[in-house]
Amino acid sequence: MSETILKVDHLKTYFDVTKGVFAKKQIVKAVDDVSFEVYKNETFGLVGESGCGKSTLGRTIVKLYEPTDGSIEFEGKDISKIKGKELKAYRKDMQMIFQDPYASLNPRMTVGEIIKEPMKIFNIYDTDEEREARVRELLDIVSLKPDHIRRYPAEFSGGQRQRIGIARALAVNPKFIVCDEPISALDASIQAQVINLLKHIQKEMGISYIFIAHDLGMVKHISDRIGVMYLGHIVECGPSDVVYHTPLHPYTQALLSAIPIPDPDVAKAKQRIVLEGEIPSPINTPAGCPFASRCPRATERCRKETPKPVQLGERSVACFLYEK
Ligand SMILES: Nc1ncnc2c1ncn2[C@@H]1O[C@H](COP(=O)(O)OP(=O)(O)OP(=O)(O)O)[C@@H](O)[C@H]1O
Ligand SMILES: [Mg+2]
């Protein structure tokens, strides 16, 4: 059994979006009772449609958002309520890479200053020479040139900027990185390079990742295990190839049937499930299974009761169809 580094238990992150003092309360349940574990050195993929709560879950784990309820254990310690020094220590271990490499780098700082900044915040080196030397090492790791150190983000392409973002995350020697759609804004030809770089870094430095994306085909490629999210819930979770090749939750099945298959014979044999209706609003969500309103197999019970995850071997699935 692999060693657990991160354990998320019944985590909830709600946003109060009520307008006006006398208005009816409006609560967005962006993350609603989510539990999963990430093992040391592994990549845990988080996949789901836009608005299902992936970024909110990632941001809650790195403590950019306060959880409403539940716990987040990192190396066996609940960090959901830590403050001050403990929080600072956690921030060094737990880094994040963002989707938009244009918005996430300060345009007025040079590449060297951007990568040095976290080293200064966390007092990692005593002198500027040491920091400078480390920046050069990091630039080499992410395949940028030494003379890039004095340039500004505007002089770089999207793929190069994401490399700068990766170098900045690595500057503090983290144990864990939440990668929030790090390649979604990049050209297809550059995406593979950045993925390979992240994989290489993981192997060399032994870092654990949460890798967020909305395309299951791509997440499968990079992840050891996958969690499929729908409307704030993880509906299915397990080893990548198990979830990918034999999806059990009707939502995972629908997500997969939307991926184009290059082989026409396989494509013909595979039944395409078309999701009907819009993804419901996450404001004041009704009781029952989150997927009930779009599920081809929903029953009366699914509209009233929320199914709990059922463990089937290494996989868990939150659907009454698999109740033991
Ligand atoms: N700060 C906030 N205040 C209020 N509502 C928010 C806030 N952040 C996110 N939400 C809402 O929470 C829900 C989940 O959003 P989130 O950004 O986590 O989704 P996502 O899965 O990352 O989507 P995408 O694939 O588009 O990035 C959405 O309905 C969103 O509008
Ligand atoms: Mg997002």
Cα–Cα distances in Å, from 261 out to 203, 257, 270?
A: 30, 9, 9
Average pLDDT over residues 5-23: 93
pLDDT at 167: 95
Average pLDDT over residues 125-131: 92
Give the list of residues 6+ apart from residue 20 with CB closer than 8 angstroms, or none. Answer: none
How many Å lie between the centroid of ligand 1 and the Cα of residue 58? 11
Of 270 and 99, the structure prediction assigns the larger pLDDT to: 99
> What three-state secondary structure class fits 138?
helix
pLDDT of residue 41 exceeding 70: yes
When pLDDT is cut at 50, 70 and 90, the band that residue 274 belongs to is: low
Which mutation among 28, 49, 68 tests ligand 1's pocket best, with the greatest number of atoms within 8 A of CB?
A: 28
Closest atom, ligand 1, to C-alpha of 48: 21
- Determine the residue type at 287: A
pLDDT of residue 214 exceeding 80: yes
Average pLDDT over residues 107-135: 94
pLDDT at 256: 86
Average pLDDT over residues 286-308: 93
Q: How many CB atoms lie within 10 A of CB 27?
A: 15
Closest atom, ligand 1, to C-alpha of 282: 29
When pLDDT is cut at 50, 70 and 90, the band that residue 152 belongs to is: very high
Average pLDDT over residues 72-96: 95
pLDDT of residue 271 exceeding 60: no
Separation of alpha carbons 6 and 43, rounded Å: 12
Of 59 and 280, the structure prediction assigns the larger pLDDT to: 59
Average pLDDT over residues 87-103: 91
Token pair in block for residue 117? 């900044």
pLDDT of residue 202 exceeding 70: yes
Cα–Cα distances in Å, from 282 out to 63, 107, 170, 213, 231?
A: 22, 35, 35, 19, 6
Q: Whose CA is nearest to atom 3 of ligand 1?
A: 15
Which mutation among 14, 55, 64, 231 tests ligand 1's pocket best, with the greatest number of atoms within 8 A of CB?
A: 55
Mean pLDDT of the chain: 91
> What percentage of the chain has pLDDT greater than the value 90?
73
- Determine the residue type at 195: I
pLDDT at 190: 87
Closest atom, ligand 1, to C-alpha of 181: 27
Residues with CB under 6 A from ligand 1: 15, 17, 28, 30, 48, 50-56, 214, 282
Average pLDDT over residues 63-76: 97
pLDDT at 287: 86
pLDDT at 1: 58
Average pLDDT over residues 265-271: 54
Which mutation among 26, 31, 47, 56 tests ligand 1's pocket best, with the greatest number of atoms within 8 A of CB?
A: 56
